[in-house]
Amino acid sequence: MRAGKEGTTKIVLVDREKLWSFGWVERIKQIYSIPGYPKFHPNTVVPEYTCAQHAKYELTEQAVKSNHFNTTYYTWIDVGYFRLITERKKEFVIVKPPNFNESRVAMNQVYDANMDTPPETIFKGNHVWIGGGFFFGSQDTLPLFIADYRQAVQRYLDMSLSCTDQQVLFSMNTNKEKHIVQQRVPIQRFVNDVPGDCWFFLGYACYRELLQ
């Protein structure tokens, strides 16, 4: 798929057993084994799935530190994020989101949310505020954002709470938790009220097809 683009391609093989995120798999397994802990497959059923969601941030952090191509901006894109337009078979690039705030990390706001909701309700109810399929930031903001995300993950695991990255992001930004977690890089929320499109709005705002 990347033939002819070897100069702008870097494939990194990762041993997940050496990742920080997968180091929590046994603790997460214990939490999901607690009698009565709600089951939302795979979010609160498959511990490895949860670890994979946390790994997105860890691997993005590694990409920033490695800086293979001397770039200022970085993005995470889920492998299936652009699944609705695969039939176009077009080459594309990702550009800065419109009106991007350089001091923030851009993410999709999927739903309106009550920011007074306690973490236990968010995790055990599988509630979502921010989607984790696509995020965009700079080499200056992402490491700080991810470091605070890691601390939040550990905080909620200590509270016997686990689900996906989306519940972590929601919880750490609630009115009470944000004073505890003290996230140093705010989220710049991109919102679209078209049903179904809210998950993909930011990605399409950054998507530019190349002329062929």
Question: For 84-100, how does the pLDDT look when each residue is reduced to its tens digit (9 = 90+)?
Answer: 888 888 889 999 999 99
Q: Kindly state the tokens that stand for 138.
A: 């700079």
pTM of the entire predicted model: 0.94
Nearest one of 203, 19, 210 to 98, comparing CA atoms = 203
Evaluate whether 176 touches 141 at the Cβ level (below 8 Å): no
Q: 4-40: buried (b, 16+ CB within 10 Å) or exposed (e) per residue?
A: eeeeeeeeeeeeeeebebbebbeebeebbeeeebeee
Residue 118 CA to residue 19 CA, distance in Å, equals 29
Nearest one of 203, 83, 182, 82 to 136, comparing CA atoms = 203
Strands in 187-191's sheet, in edge-to-edge order, are 73-77, 130-138, 105-109, 187-191
Question: For 39-78, how does the pLDDT look when each residue is reduced to its tens digit (9 = 90+)?
Answer: 999 999 999 999 999 999 999 999 999 999 999 999 999 9
User: Where are the domains positioned within the chain?
Assistant: 13-209
Question: For 97-122, how does the pLDDT look when each residue is reduced to its tens digit (9 = 90+)?
Answer: 999 999 999 999 999 999 999 999 99
